[in-house]
Amino acid sequence: MLKIAPSILSADFARLGEQVAECERAGADVIHFDVMDGHFVPNISIGPVVLSAVRRTCGLRVDVHLMIENAERYVEAFAEAGADTLIVHVEANVHLHRVLEQIRALGKHPAVALNPATPANLLSQVLDDVDQILVMTVNPGIGGQQFIRNVLPKIEQIRQMIGTRTIELGVDGGVDQTTARAAAECGADLLIAGTSVFHDSRGIAKAVQALRG
């Protein structure tokens, strides 16, 4: 089953509650919440206070993508603020196994993200510790970038590595109707999309439908 996760980084933050509710009515499966610290990635975005507000306005699962250093210091705050899944980056967490265990102990779904240049084999020792793998198809930190097609074989490779495990395989960055198809054909079953959902002149509902199609 293919899941659609609008990334609220591209939402109109002055109308965030309304737009999240619109995603829910449009049949989105998950809300993707991007956290940036200005160190691991160039931008600074939103934190636990905004997450609690989103949590209050919607009944959907919320996946929190932590594009931050020292994730172990913050996972508890995001868990308390209402995250369902906590996604940490392989590149930003030297003690990756420890932070994944910490997330599991908080009763949340542990997930791991990989930058475009990071090889799939870095996941080999954590496959039994995660519920989601997020493959970045842009360099993280900015919305509205172009999907990097060279990452497609890595999506296929990770699908093979997952085997029969129940791990979701997400793609994040530059996902639109065309690239969604390519990613899904390589085995992705969770499509994260910011610009193509929130900047579609036909509105959020049509954009979500188009991605599912």
Distances (CA, A) of 110 to 128, 183, 204, 209: 10, 22, 28, 28
Taking CB under 6 A as the rule, does residue 180 contact ligand DX5? no
For tokens 């905004």, the residue is 50
By beta-carbon proximity to ligand DX5, the closer residue of 125 and 178 is: 178
Q: Say which entry of ligand DX5, Zn ion, none residue 131 contacts (CB below 5 to 8 A, set by partner kind).
A: none
The answer to the question of residue 7 lying near ligand DX5 (CB under 6 A) is yes
Do 154 and 189 form a contact (C-beta atoms < 8 A)?
Answer: no
Q: Which of 82, 110, 141, 170 binds ligand DX5 (CB under 6 A)?
A: 141
List the interface residues with ligand DX5, window 112-131 (CB under 6 A): none
Using CB under 6 A, which of 66, 71, 138, 211 touches ligand DX5? 138
* Residues in 139-178 at the binding interface with Zn ion, rule: CB under 5 A: 172
Active-site residue identified among 37, 129, 131, 172? 172
34 interacts with ligand DX5 by CB under 6 A: yes
Name residues contacting Zn ion, limited to 65-84 (CB under 5 A).
65
128 is annotated as an active-site residue: no
Q: Where are the alpha helices (DSSP H) in 26-173?
A: 48-57, 75-80, 96-105, 152-162
Please enumerate in sequence order all residues whose Cβ is within 8 A of that of 34, keeping only pairs 6 or more positions apart, or say none: 7, 8, 9, 45, 46, 65, 67
Q: Which positions are catalytic?
A: 34, 172
Residues that bind Zn ion (CB under 5 A): 34, 65, 172
